[in-house]
Amino acid sequence: MAQNTHTLSVNMGDGNLHSGNITSSFNSYVYKTDEDAEIMRWLSPLDPSNRHQGVSTERLDGVGNWLLETNEFREWRNSEGAADNVILFCSGNPGVGKTYLR
């Protein structure tokens, strides 16, 4: 059972000195041995990758882009090293659209 969908490194921007490698851990990964897969299950039974795919696919293009443009978000994402703004908390209702408008 080495088929544990979980993690994989995706390197983006290879070959370009000016763009770093952004590694997403939201993709599938096939473990080398059964023990590797067992270690991963032991570490946590939770598997976030499928959930992200689902939520991400349902999202409407453009919705929420304003957040990415706020100073708070930009500072949080772009600041280097230790900074004042290292934790963002978005507070609101998790499922207005889904719960009430289906």
Partner 1 sequence: MLLTTRNTSSLVIDSLCDQEGKGDTIVTGLYCDFQIQQEQTAANIMGAILKQLVGRGDIPEYLRHAFQAGKRNFGGRRPRLLDVTEMLRNTIASLPQVFICLDALDECLPKHLPDLLASLRDILRESPKTRIFLTGRPHVTEDIQRYLPKAVVIPISPNTDDIRDYLEMRLDKDSEPDAMNDDLRADILRIILARTSDMCVGVSLISALSVIFTYHGYT
Q: Is residue 2 part of the contact set for partner 1 (CB under 8 A)?
A: no
Of 3 and 66, nearer to partner 1 (C-beta) is 66
Q: Which token pair is 81?
A: 């090293």
Among 15, 24, 34, 74, the residue binding partner 1 under the rule CB under 8 A is: 24
Q: Which of 1, 3, 15, 96 lies at the binding interface for partner 1 (CB under 8 A)? A: 96
- Answer for which of 1, 3, 15, 43 binds partner 1 (CB under 8 A) is 43
Give the span between the Cα atoms of 46 and 89, in whole angstroms.
22
Cβ 51 vs Cβ 27: under 8 Å: no
Among 2, 34, 55, 74, binds partner 1 (CB under 8 A): 55
Rule CB under 8 A: is residue 97 a binding residue for partner 1? yes
What DSSP string runs through 30-63? --SSHHHHHHHHHH-S--HHHHHHHHHHHSPTTT
